[in-house]
Structure 1
């Protein structure tokens, strides 16, 4: 007589629950870093906001700097997929636009959406960088990654033969106008809509860059 049939362990539900827990932790970390400040936010605060034990946060993210890094990545991408921004379909399609005016106009709309997600967190990281080494390292990494991304945009623009300035100037102007400062000043402080800001930014880039 055969013994009882063992059911195969299905880990999909456990993975789904773990993923949901990580998303709650990241959402809580984002909100606290923005409202309370990175330096003043403790892992225990994040755990309480997410409704989990501090040990769960440590198990998922190891420490607060790692939590900040992952919070930034998810905020930039808008999801928890491990796909670099430049490899995402929306940006690949944007870079494939042959009309440089249309490309910079579309990029302004795209960047405005990213700023809507990231500008407040960037302000929080920048504010903490003067006194917190982890925040300073994160800010340096953010700026480095953005410079590399803007260099790619500048190279692709130069390849069209329509770029009115040097590739280096295009890169540096894009880098300087995509860190969230302008969005924060115009939208958060002066009350512009995202649509108005995107239209203005698009005109600025087209006027500055397109021959």
Structure 2
């Protein structure tokens, strides 16, 4: 093996190892933030759970809120690819559905999957926001991004000609029903299945939004 090939191989191995370390850190952080809260979790605990040195965590993410922010991004998208949620195949399929009632039903299913990944973590972010300004800023960023995303759904709903409310009202109804609280109450607390929750959410949206 030539020196050039060996250097490329070693560099590739180092990148892969770094990426794997980051995935383990984010998975560990997610579980610890959910289980014991953001404030009670230290990066030393995260590093120990991930099986890496705490210096590795700081080098990759900078701060604890940096870990939280990246863990949130991964939870929303379902993986660590740098692809906006609205550009992911499951959401593109939702937007491609021409019938509004069918579209909302499909979106309810997709959103339920997102809630399973994010609702508990968002509860942890909210719990931290009252005492940690960086967490409060992250929560504001999350809410603004979610409102903007749901505005896209509302604009697309108008274009179907079947929306029963104004565009702003549609956006706000979707925003109010996708903040994780309903999923936590009905699925996490009351024991509903995700399928039952998605069907109920689709019914609520269809009754409220479709003309």
| Gap runs ≥5 in structure 2 | none
- TM-score, length-scaled by structure 1: 0.96
**Other-structure match for 1:86:** 86
Please state how far the C-alpha of 1:7 moved relative to its aligned partner: 4.6
1:182 maps to what in 2?
182
**Separation in structure 2 between the aligned mates of residue 147 and residue 100 of structure 1, nearest angstrom:** 19
Aligned counterpart, 1:115:
115
Instruction: Please state if 1:143 is matched with 2:143.
Output: yes
Deviation at 1:6, TM superposition (A): 2.9
**Superposed displacement of residue 196, structure 1:** 0.4
Is 1:6 aligned to residue 6 of structure 2? no
Unaligned 5+ runs, structure 1: none
Going by fraction, where is helix more abundant, 1 or 2? 2
Cα distance between partner residues in 2 of 1:108 and 1:7: 51
- 1:48 Cα deviation from its structure 2 partner: 0.7
> 1:17-36 to 2 correspondence within 5 Å?
17-36=17-36
The alpha-carbon deviation at position 190 of structure 1 amounts to: 0.9
Query: Residues 5 and 143 (structure 1 numbering): CA distance in 2 closer, same or farther, change over 3 Å?
Result: closer
Deviations 1:136-179 (A, max 9, x none): 11111110000000000000000111100000000000000001
Report the equivalent of 2:68. 68
Once residues 47 and 144 of structure 2 are traced to their aligned partners in structure 1, the CA distance between those partners, rounded to angstroms, is: 30
Alignment length (residue pairs): 208
- Across the aligned residues of Structure 1 and Structure 2, the Cα RMSD in angstroms comes to 1.1
DSSP-derived class of the 1:105 partner: helix
> Alignment partner of 1:165: what SS?
coil
Superposition deviation, residue 76 in structure 1: 0.6
Partner of 2:153: 153
C-alpha distance 17-5 of structure 1, shift in aligned 2 (>3 A)? closer
**Aligned partners of 1:106, 1:143: CA distance in 2, in Å?**
22
C-alpha distance in 2, partners of 1:189/1:53?
36
Go from structure 1 to structure 2 and tell me whether the alpha carbon gap of 1:55 and 1:193 turns closer, same or farther (over 3 Å shift): same
1:20 Cα deviation after fit: 0.6
Per-residue CA deviation, residues 174-200 of structure 1 (Å, 9 max, x unaligned), is 000001000000001111110000000
1:39 partner SS: coil
Equivalents in 2 of 1:64, 1:172: separation in Å? Answer: 31
TM-score (norm 2): 0.96
